[in-house]
Amino acid sequence: MSDLVIVESPAKAKTIKKYLGGNYEVIASMGHVRDLPKARLSVDIKKKFAPKYEIIKGKEKLVEELKELAEKSDKIYLATDPDREGEAISWHLAYILGLPLDDNNRVEFNEITKNGVTNGMAHPRSINIDLVNAQQARRILDRLVGYKLSPFISQKIRRGLSAGRVQSVAVRIIVDREEEIRKFKPEEYWTIDAKFIPKGSRKSFSASLYSDANGKIKIENQEQAEKIEQDLADAEYMITKVKHGTRRKTPAPPFITSTLQQEASRKLGFQSRRTMKVAQELYEGVDIEGMGATGLITYMRTDSLRISDVAKEEAAQYILN
């Protein structure tokens, strides 16, 4: 029997299967397979906030299929996404399939290319329990804040209002910022700018009034600005110093999750959800004529600026050619 590789999505499974070949069976878990049931709190507050997990409703048939394939496989690889959610999904899969947590069966694909998949399969590791616990803490906080605070807010403030682990903190930051804005006392100031055309030239250049004879000047009202403007109108001007220099501009760094979302919003008007959906598709693989399903970007939920050596070499060669 071939080795079993479990990934999160069918699109990724299709792309990875192409690179791994016939000795591997690649199947998708379709995201999380085990979670806190929705019908109750499912967090035991009295026992160190222990979560009570169950198979997600509707995933029972998939779980049985995974168990059957696992029993027939020589080796099982957990290849969920390389982040804390992916690590938690692998941990849940290991529990369901009865896999030892210290077994080197966890693989990461930072890019769904032949090199990225081959490299990931060559360096399996055990499940990182710290990442799993980070995800569990986030999930438990979501549940505690959502299930404990939302009913209170809905009852006391307005029906239908809810609270969340992230949105509640964001609202507090906005309120604090608004209070700072309201406390701000505006001060009037003026600037004086001019355009100059040197003798013997048709090109003009701009300059701003910076100081008078006594040093840097602060113009506080219109009357002061107009008086200075009158004094300057008949004055003669002299360029005392010209400084030549070379400015070096480096390219922008690779996107991280936040900068990707910001740029997509600024240039394309995309909301974060749409940006991440498109990025997920580009990461998992797009059908390209003559190449089949091919991953086009590295993993998008990251704060890393690292670019693979292969990508740099190929980009350099493309530019040279």
Active site residues: 299
Neighbours of 159 (CB within 10 A): 7
Residues 6+ away with beta carbon under 8 Å from 59: 30, 33
Q: What angle do CA 124, 130, 135 make, to 5 degrees?
A: 105
Place of tokens 């959502």: 146
Amino acid of residue 53: Y
Q: What tokens were used for 34?
A: 């085990």
Taking the CA atoms of residue 73, residue 77, residue 80 and residue 86 in that order, the dihedral angle to the nearest 10 degrees is: 110
The dihedral over CA atoms of 152, 156, 161, 162, expressed in degrees to the nearest 10, equals -20
Within 10 Å of residue 280's Cβ, how many Cβ atoms? 18
